[in-house]
Structures are given as C-alpha cells and as structure tokens.
Amino acid sequence: MLITKNNLIISQFLLVLLLLVAPFYLHPNIGGLGFGIPINSAEWLVALIFICFVLFITIRGKTIAYNLGWIYCLAFPMVLIFVGIMSEVPQPIVWLFRQLYLLGGYLFLFSLFQLKLTTRHIEQLLYIVVVATFIHSLVGICQLWNVSFLGIWLPRTPNSFPNGVFQQVNLQATYLTTGLLIILFLISRPSFKHARFVTKFLFITTFFIAIYVLVSSGSRIGVLSFVVGGTLMLLSRRRQLLRQKSILLILCITTTLAIIAGQAGLNRAVDKTKQLTAGEFSTARQVIYSISLDLIRQKPIFGYGIGSFPRVWTDKVALFSAQHSDVNLPQGAALSHPHNEVLFWMIEGGTISVVGLLIIFYVITVALFRCGFERGGAYAALLLPISLHTQVELPFYISSVHWFLWLFLIFMVFRHQLKVVSLNISLMIRGFIQSSIVLIGFSGVAMLVHIEKSQNEIFKYTSGVGGNLQVALHDLYFNSFAEKIMMQTLLYSSIEKQNKTPIHDFVMWAEGRLAVNAEPGMFIMLNDAYGFIGDTRNQCRIAKQGLQVYPDNARLQKTLDNCNK
C-alpha cells in the first residue's frame, strides 16, 4: 500500500478541514435541506478531494484494505437501484443525489480504511472534534445570549434558540452530545495520563459550556442521548475512567452547575415529553407516524418509489384530515421526510429497502460485539446520539457534518477487522482508473462550485439584492427550485400588469408540479392564478384541496368562504 508519510500528512490535513474548518463555512443562505446550507457544499468539497486523493494513491500501490461488513453494507444502495427499477421514480434528480450521497459515504469509509491510521492518529482527530465541539458551543452561547456581532457571520435565531451553524436546534444538540461522549472516551484512554494542563482545561471548559447549551436548548433527543450514551460510556469504560477520579469529579461539578444554569431549557424538554402521554395524536410526530404507518400498510413490498414521499404524504394527510377533523395537523405539513429514517425508507422503498438497512444494523452490531464490551460499548455510546437522532428527525439530509462524523465513528469500529488483499492489475488498467478518479474529482468539484454559486444567486434574487437565476436554472440540483421562483415571478408580474396571456402556461406547469410535490406555495399560487383569470370552479377546487392539507392557511380559507357564499 503506497501511503507514504507525506501522503498521510496530506490526508490528515484534509480530515482536519472536514471536521474542523468546513463546518464553519457559513453565510446568509436559503436554508432548508442539502445544499441550501453552505456548510454542506464545503463538507462535500473537502470529502470529495479527500476520497479522490486517497483512492488515487491507493491504486498506485499493490494492496487494498477493506472490511467484510463494509461490503455487506453495499447491499443497501444496490437494493435502492432494484427498487427504482421495480417501482416509479417520480423525482429522478432526488433519486440521483440520494444515491450519490450514499455512495460518497461508502467511498469515504473505504478511503479511511486505506490510510492505516494508528490509534494515535485517531485520537488526534478526536481531539479535533473536541475543539470543534468547543467552537459549536460558543456559537450556541452567542445565540442564547443574543450577541449582536454574531449577525455578521451567522443570522440570529428566533427566540434565541441555540441552532448553531446547523440552523436547527436538535442538530446542534446531537453534535454537542457526541462531542461530550468523545471527551469521556478520550479521558479513558491511556494517553490521557500524559495530557497537558491546556488539554485538560479545554476538556473541562468544553464539557461545561456544551452541557449548558445542550440543556438550555430544551432538546429532548439531545438530553436523552447524553443520559443513555453517557451511562453506557461510564459502564463500559468504568475501569479506565476511575483512574482519572480528579477530573471526573470536576466534570461532575461542572455538569451540575451547567444543568442548574440551563434549567429553564430542561423544564421545556420535560414539558414536551409529558405531551406524549396527553393523547393518541397530542404531538405532531404522533400524527406523522400514524399516517406513515398507514402508507406502509398499503404498499408494504416495494413502496411508492424513491422521491415519492411528498406526493403520497399529501394525498394521505388529506384523507386523515377528513377522518380526524378534531386533530391539529403538524405545522408545515409539506413534509419531505416522516421524521424517522426506517419509516421513510419503508414508504419509498418498501420492505425490500428495510432489508438493506437491517444488514447495515447487523454488521455494525456484530463489529461492536467483536470489539468486546470495554471498547465496543464505548463505540456504541459514541454512535448513539446521531443514530438515535435518525429515528426522530432527518439529520443526514440537513447536515453533512453529522454524516461524515458518523462515518468516521463507524470507521473506528470497522478498523479492528480489516482485511488486506493484493491488487494485481495491469499498468493500463491502473492508468485508466487513476484517470477516471481525476476526471470524477474535477467534475465533482465543478458541480459543487456551480451548486454553491446557484445557492448564492437564489438567495440574492429572493432577497432583492441582485441575481437573475440564470446560473441556478442551469444547475442540476437547484433547477427545480429556481424554476419555481421564476414561475412565481411570472405569475405575480402578470397579475400586476393585468396580462392574462402567460397564465395558461403557468397553470399547466403548476398543476403538474402539484401532482409531484404539493407544497403550500403551489396551492396559493394556483389559487391566485385561477382567481385572476376568473376560473371560479378551479379556484374553489384548489382552495378546498389545499385546506385539507393546510387547514390553517388564511388565504385559501378566504377563497373557500367566498365559494360557499
């Protein structure tokens, strides 16, 4: 394996960029999911360079390293391709980028295998994560205290919630929880007895402010992950941790002080938890899960197709609303995910796709078991916060930081069972593969730069500070979003100018779009379009259909009231 000292240094530098620098690339943005958040573009840019660099130098060597469990995990993307063949794919671009997301993650994991990182190297990278946790905690404190200068880099959050750079409070809480458990893990390592005072001070300070931000956030998933993960870490590493009694005592004191300081947030978390026992549909997630289970029962084998969830959710929630008129539907019912990863794949890919997920769960569990309780229990504790988060929300779709951190922790588990095989290929094949890696790398970088440029253009356009959407309209990822904005501009400029000529084309486009993804904005725009051209029958139809999904929409309700007169 041709991983020289210089190559290893470059690889580690790229990993530091991935774990510490790229997560803080942020500027005013359109938000939402995926590349609507700049840090995701930065994360994938660094990850792509890292993958291509490591694979390029690996092909020059004579051996490759792999984990048998990693090979079994490849069954999941293969299953998704099979499901795509067997069922409808209503949004091909969504399907494509989801496949690229998964395959990119597998290649990132494979690239880590090739580096043969030592225990010392891994501990150094975990220290980098602790530093990142410290910075994320400071960002959270600035948001909690509404520090004024923060708006220059990161917009202030509503109600002073510590959303962090992730722009979502539970994502911030899950990351901080993972960082807290990494601190406990590093304290239990033999190398910690040689740690300098500045390292111990960093650990204590980070532990205090991270718990303060975590508790103050009122995040139930964050607090639960810390309690369960912390208990598992203390049990599995108790023998090693008891050798550091003094710092454990200090951490206990700082934890108590942090909880007292952030008690108001803890009370909110307790109150939200009590709501779960108030009734069958007392919370939004209970409604979402109930509707999702009904969808699964209707198509249990192959599901509705990759990218179909927004459409089938809208159809089902309309029926649910008619049957349960006394139940308040979740706000912003244009969901792209049912807030549970297993339910999501069962709806879109059926039982077949869940088999792929079960294979991944099985091989990780087996790998943890083979590590023994002291090591495997600690690894399980590190994986728990982000893994548990996937069962109540969609962390990987919003934050690639969580995706790559989770994969790095998976690598820590798999590295203990690596196999090395000879790579016997001809010079011509080697040259072809290396050329392909370079071509894919440059193409990927160009695509990511174009995506980020499109995101900036859309933000400027929607903010009224410039931009004409020409770049975004020719972008593979943002084309659909930019098209929607352009058509919205066309509609309301036509209404303003009293020009009915373009409305027919708009209506045809909007009806087709509504059939794929019934966003609230599409109902409103169609309502206004039909009202402008005087098509009362279709305007009333759209208002009634929209209110079945979005019952609190005042504009649609006003139209329906006029229809009923």
DSSP of 17-60:
IIIIIGGG---S---SSGGGSHHHHHHHHHHHHHHHHHHHHHHH
Any domain includes 224: yes
Residues 6+ apart with CB under 8 A from 313: 291, 295, 333, 335, 338
State which of 347, 379, 408 marks the end of a domain: 408
Inside any domain, residue 243:
yes
Give me the tens of pLDDT residue by residue for the chain, a chain 565 residues long: 457 888 999 999 999 999 999 999 988 888 888 999 999 999 999 999 999 999 999 998 878 999 998 999 888 888 877 777 666 667 788 888 988 999 999 999 999 999 989 999 999 999 999 999 999 999 999 888 887 666 667 766 767 788 999 989 999 999 999 999 999 999 999 999 989 999 999 999 999 999 999 999 988 999 999 999 999 999 999 999 999 999 999 999 999 999 998 887 777 766 666 555 555 555 677 788 888 889 899 888 888 888 888 888 877 877 777 676 666 666 544 678 888 899 998 998 888 888 889 999 999 999 999 999 999 999 999 999 999 999 988 899 999 999 999 999 999 999 999 999 988 888 899 999 999 999 999 999 999 999 999 999 999 998 888 778 899 999 999 999 999 999 999 999 999 999 999 999 999 999 988 888 778 889 999 999 999 999 999 999 999 988 888 877 888 889 888 898 7
Q: Where are the alpha helices (DSSP H) in 464-553?
A: 470-473, 479-497, 503-516, 520-533, 536-549
Are residues 250 and 152 part of one domain? yes
Predicted local confidence at residue 335, as pLDDT: 74
Residue 245 belongs to some domain of the structure: yes
- Structural domain tally of the chain? 2
* Structure letter (DSSP) for residue 283: S
CATH number at residue 538: 1.25.40.10
Q: What is the helix (H) or strand (E) element at residue 418, kind and residue range?
A: strand 418-422
Torsion sign over Cα 36, 42, 45, 47: negative
Name 467's Cβ contacts closer than 8 Å, sequence gap at least 6. 456, 457, 458, 459, 460, 461
Is there a domain that residue 278 lies in?
A: no
* Nearest-angstrom CA–CA distance, 306 and 476: 18
State the maximum Cα–Cα separation within the chain, in Å, rounded to a whole number.
Answer: 80
pTM value is: 0.93
How many of the other CB atoms lie within 10 Å of CB of 103? 12
Residues 123 and 234 in one domain: yes
* Separation CA 527–CA 100 (nearest Å): 37
Cα angle for residues 423, 427, 428 (degrees, 5° grid): 115
Q: Enumerate residues 6+ apart whose C-beta is below 8 A from 491.
A: 502, 503, 506, 525, 528, 529
Cβ atoms of 237 and 373 within 8 Å: the answer is: no
Task: Looking at the structure, tell me whether residues 132 and 230 fall in a common domain.
Answer: yes
**Closest C-alpha to 213, from 127, 145, 126:** 145
Residue 164 gets which letter from DSSP?
G
What was the pLDDT predicted at 330? 61
Q: Which residues span the domain enclosing 552? A: 478-563
Domain membership of residue 487 (yes or no) is yes
Last residue of a domain, one of 408, 437, 467: 408
Residue 253 shares a structural domain with residue 396:
yes
Instruction: Please report where in the chains the tokens 């690639």 appear, as a residue.
Output: 400
Distance of CA 226 to the CA centre of its chain: 19
Give yes or no: residues 401 and 527 share one domain: no
Which of 351, 379, 349 is CA-nearest to residue 366?
379
Which of 392, 408, 424 corresponds to the end of one domain? 408
Please state, in angstroms and as integers, the Cα–Cα distance from residue 103 to each residue in 76, 116, 208, 299, following that order.
Answer: 10, 21, 37, 27
Q: Are 400 and 504 members of one domain?
A: no
What is the rounded CA–CA span in Å between residue 88 and residue 312? 12
Look up residue 347 and give its two tokens.
Answer: 């709806």
* Residue 423 C-alpha from the chain's centroid: 35
**Spatial contact of 79 and 356, defined as CB atoms under 8 Å apart:** yes
Same domain, 130 and 213: yes
What is the Cα 427 distance to its own chain's centre? 40
Residues 249 and 383 both lie in one domain: yes
The answer to whether residues 526 and 543 touch, using CB atoms and an 8 Å cutoff, is no
Which residues make Cβ contacts (< 8 Å) with residue 309, sequence separation at least 6?
335, 336, 337, 338, 344, 347, 348
CA atoms of 39 and 30, how far apart (whole Å) = 12
- Specify whether 151 is located in the same domain as 249: yes
* Helices assigned H by DSSP within 275-399: 284-298, 309-323, 341-370, 372-389, 395-398
d(CA 455, CA 452): 5
Do 214 and 129 fall within a single domain? yes
- Residues 394, 509, single domain; the answer is no
Give the per-residue pLDDT at 333: 47
In whole angstroms, how far apart are CA 239 and each of 178, 244, 246, 256, 289?
Answer: 21, 10, 14, 23, 41
Tokens of 271: 């109150």
Judge whether 68 lies within some domain. no
Half-sphere exposure of 321 (CA within 13 A, CB side): 19
CA–CA dist 525, 547 (Å, integer): 14
Res 552: pLDDT:
78
Distance separating alpha carbons of residues 333 and 59, to the nearest angstrom: 48
Residues 376 and 254 in one domain: yes
Does residue 65 form part of some domain?
no
Q: Is 217 part of any domain?
A: yes
